[in-house]
Chain A
Amino acid sequence: MATMIQAIRMALHVGEERLGVTDIFGQDVGPPLGGVFTGTQGLETAWNSPLDERGIIGMAIGLALAGRKPIAEIQFCDYAFNSIDMLKIAGNTYWASAGDWNVPLVMMTPVGAGIRGSIYHSHSFDAQATRIPGWKIVMPSNPRDAYGLMLSAIVDPNPVMFLEPKALLRVKGRDGEEIPGEPGDPKALSKMIDAPLGDRSAWKPAWPKLEEYYVSIGKARVARAGKDVTVLTYGRNVPMCLAAAGELAKDGIDAEIIDLRSLYPYDWPAIKDSVRKTHRVLCVNEDTEITNFGEHLIRRIIEELFYELHAPPKLLAGAHLPGVGLADALERATIPQTSGIKAAIDTLARHQP
């Protein structure tokens, strides 16, 4: 059973082997390291770029314009902020040129807290990303979705941003979340595709015979069906919400956890169906709470489903602070935790109009 980072690596391999990926690049992406999270180890087309985020995105745009299929990595989304201008251009080129040039590129970047990353390795990017029209934005919460979303991102003719919840990158899939073609034994997989420690100059991965598996961009997944409260979430918060829902089930509260998987386009039909069923909504994400993507979802729910609601919708998000502090207590006080999610679901479920 693969971890998410192995799943991403396998998707990139399938991408370069069968789907036309020509360039996988970014800081420390090529040999010998293969990415600070190991996401690009052993890939044929991986190369190291200068330490220049604007250049990385610009390079990707230019490669895409020239008919290649680039995948550009920004090492941490915390360092994508100096490239926002270039991200805007990737998003607006097709529109500004009235359909003359499309920009088929993938940008991938680790996001969020949970690895004790302090102020500059804990940022979220979902609020920022969803403010750049013209992009598709995806964020998996498990290895198989990561694999399927990456393959969909690769074959998409538009710029696609692949946000990697960094706290989940080393988490293995659960039963039923196998990637088609991967060996069942995690040790066997690791032996095949993880680069050895020490000298790697002669190492080559032995890729399993992977099947193509696509998760459609724009389609949410019901991570847990329930009837009392709808929880709209993605990425790292999905397993936290599932844990909270598991505990609440003991008290007879039955939460429905929707893993959005795509932030844009997002799966409004799935959201609507769930809200019509439960009449109560909680949005959970880690980004700072002011001008947060969950706020948009709540605004639309209020506008379109107001009379379905039995309780005021709630947003649980990161505190509006300049950063996430390093000490455990600081991070926990800043970013939603399972206990807080549980309390929020509980309050919503018990709310009487």
Chain B
Amino acid sequence: MIIPVSSGGSGVPRAAANMDMKLGTFTEFSPDVALSVHALMLQARVFEERLIAMYKQGDGYFWVGGPGEEAFNIPLGLLVNKGQGLDHDFLHLHYRSAATLLAMGADPVDSLRQMKNTATDPYSRGRNFVGHASIRKWNVAPISSPIEVQFSIAIGTAEAQRKTKSKGITIVQGGDAGTAEGDFSTCLVWSSRKGSELPILILVANNKYGISTPYEGQHGEVCISDRGKAFKIRGATIDGNDPEVSWAAIGAAMHYVRTERKPFLLEAMVSRLHGHSSASGANFVKNEIDCIARFEHKLEERGLLTRAQMNEMRAHFTAELLEASKRVRKEPQPLPETIWDYVYADKNRREVN
């Protein structure tokens, strides 16, 4: 069966058309899967809200994150073949990927630490913005700020997996506006060379904005997943605001990449629920689909959870993270001399000439 393109006016473009392929069999989540996906989505959302609150209270200089991408990113994190080395999946994510990492089992408190730039921040020791994780033990490459560069780097881990005939695949994710960068084309070109196709899942989270610039006006292609067509890269555009659609699509696309060892381009229409970043205020925007509200409505309808239960869960997560942020506030800031640490892998201190 073909994935339903849209279950409720999600803004999937006309050509969601690019659903000319069988992208797995869409099935409703079983109750326990529905409940655990929901719990993770909610936790991820509350976590972003905590980060935004930290920013607003002066416990951090900058916020960027992924509220509005949970319905796509939680299934993604749950479907990853997690681990270190070529037989596991490599992830080249973007600054809205915290939910994916949460679903993989990352401790959200570590992101609070990065928010507060503490010495205990395991991802960058107080060097980088929140949302810029690095988890080598799970093949999560460092997330860096320049848009789209991960698409040029991901081809390298995918090439290593191709050459060694390993079991793992490479997953790379970015936004819609960034696909205008040459690195996106690089990824399409290098992953589709005849006879050397790469086992790479190319993901685009299309929130229809690059900071303030609307998608309309910057794109001639009908949908971004069409970009793969000239390269015979299979693709689809899906409603990323629906976790069941997302799960089925990611699962099917991953299965294709894992078994065919060829690239797949999956575009997910998502929301950007707190604007671009703290630079634009980070306030909740009311005119976009809230994937959690929508999913919770379904869960209620299916009789899996009551409003009261969900409110209670939310309150519980909120209290938990509030407590954690208070603890993180007391953790030490990095010492100035640590700027010289980790410049070179053979010496962890400054070159002494």
**Chain A residues close to B by CB (< 8 Å):** 22-23, 49-50, 52, 54-55, 57-68, 70, 85-86, 89, 92-102, 104, 133-134, 136, 156-158, 218, 265-269
Interface residues of B in 167-223 (CB under 8 A from A): 170, 182-183, 186, 189-190, 193
B341 CB–A CB distance under 8 Å? yes
9-residue interface stretch from B15-23, B158-166, B285-293, B305-313? B158-166
For A59, what are the chain B residues with a Cβ–Cβ distance below 8 Å? Answer: 152-153, 155-156, 159, 190
Cross-chain pairs A/B with CB under 8 angstroms, 29 sampled: A22-B163, A49-B190, A50-B190, A50-B193, A52-B186, A54-B183, A55-B186, A55-B189, A58-B151, A58-B186, A60-B156, A61-B156, A62-B90, A62-B152, A62-B160, A65-B153, A66-B156, A66-B159, A89-B149, A94-B345, A96-B128, A96-B144, A97-B342, A98-B123, A98-B127, A101-B142, A102-B345, A158-B344, A268-B353
Q: How distant is A62 from chain B, measured CB to nearest CB, in Å?
A: 2
The 7 closest A-B pairs by CB, nearest first: A62-B156, A58-B152, A66-B160, A268-B353, A102-B345, A97-B134, A98-B125
For B155, what are the chain A residues with a Cβ–Cβ distance below 8 Å? Answer: 55, 58-59, 62
| Contact, CB under 8 Å: A61 / B153 | yes
A-B contacts besides A65-B153, A67-B86, A94-B342, 5 pairs, CB < 8 Å = A54-B183, A57-B152, A58-B149, A98-B127, A99-B348
| Contact, CB under 8 Å: B146 / A85 | yes
A101/B353 contact (C-beta < 8 A), A58-B152, A96-B142 known: no
| Contact, CB under 8 Å: B153 / A58 | yes
A99/B342 contact (C-beta < 8 A), A58-B149, A67-B85 known: yes
Q: How distant is B21 from chain A, measured CB to nearest CB, in Å?
A: 26
Q: Which of B154, B189, B345 contacts A157 (CB 8 A)?
A: B345
Give bound CA distance, A54 to B125, whole Å. Answer: 28
B301 CB–A CB distance under 8 Å? no
Give bound CA distance, A2 to B127, whole Å. Answer: 47
Q: Which of B86, B151, B344 contacts A66 (CB 8 A)?
A: B86
| Contact, CB under 8 Å: B156 / A63 | yes
| Contact, CB under 8 Å: A86 / B152 | yes
Give bound CA distance, A266 to B146, whole Å. Answer: 30
Q: Interface residue count for B (Cβ, 8 Å)?
A: 47
For B160, what are the chain A residues with a Cβ–Cβ distance below 8 Å? Answer: 62-63, 66-68
| Contact, CB under 8 Å: B149 / A86 | yes
Give bound CA distance, A182 to B182, whole Å. Answer: 44
For B163, what are the chain A residues with a Cβ–Cβ distance below 8 Å? Answer: 22-23, 68
Give bound CA distance, A95 to B349, whole Å. Answer: 11
Give bound CA distance, A218 to B351, whole Å. Answer: 10
Give bound CA distance, A100 to B135, whole Å. Answer: 7
A265/B353 contact (C-beta < 8 A), A50-B193, A54-B152 known: yes
Total CB contacts across the A-B interface at under 8 A: 149
B337 CB–A CB distance under 8 Å? no
Q: Which of A95, A99, A266 contacts B353 (CB 8 A)?
A: A266
Interface residues of B in 220-243 (CB under 8 A from A): none
| Contact, CB under 8 Å: B136 / A101 | yes
B343 CB–A CB distance under 8 Å? yes
Residue of A nearest to B160 (CB): A66
| Contact, CB under 8 Å: A100 / B190 | no
B81 CB–A CB distance under 8 Å? no
For B136, what are the chain A residues with a Cβ–Cβ distance below 8 Å? Answer: 97, 100-101
Q: Per-residue 0/1 for B99-139: is the Cβ within 8 Å of any A Cβ (1 yes, 0 no)?
A: 00000000000000000000001111101100010111000
B141 CB–A CB distance under 8 Å? yes
Give bound CA distance, A27 to B42, whole Å. Answer: 48
A52/B343 contact (C-beta < 8 A), A58-B149, A96-B124, A99-B348 known: no
Q: How distant is B286 from chain A, measured CB to nearest CB, in Å?
A: 36
Q: Which of A70, A92, A157 contacts B156 (CB 8 A)?
A: A70
B271 CB–A CB distance under 8 Å? no
For A266, what are the chain B residues with a Cβ–Cβ distance below 8 Å? Answer: 353
Residue of A nearest to B158 (CB): A62
B246 CB–A CB distance under 8 Å? no
Q: Which of B127, B156, B161, B190 contacts A52 (CB 8 A)?
A: B190
| Contact, CB under 8 Å: A134 / B341 | no
For B154, what are the chain A residues with a Cβ–Cβ distance below 8 Å? Answer: 58, 62
Residue of B149, B161, B193 with most chain A CB atoms under a 10 A cut-off: B149
Q: Per-residue 0/1 for B310-353: is the Cβ within 8 Å of any A Cβ (1 yes, 0 no)?
A: 00000000000000000000000000000001111110100101
| Contact, CB under 8 Å: B124 / A97 | yes
Give bound CA distance, A60 to B135, whole Å. Answer: 20
| Contact, CB under 8 Å: B183 / A58 | yes
Residue of A nearest to B189 (CB): A50
Give bound CA distance, A22 to B161, whole Å. Answer: 13
Residue of A nearest to B343 (CB): A95
Q: How distant is A268 from chain B, measured CB to nearest CB, in Å?
A: 4
Residue of B128, B146, B155 with most chain A CB atoms under a 10 A cut-off: B155
B157 CB–A CB distance under 8 Å? yes
Residue of A62, A89, A101 with most chain B CB atoms under a 10 A cut-off: A62
For B142, what are the chain A residues with a Cβ–Cβ distance below 8 Å? Answer: 93, 96-97, 100-101
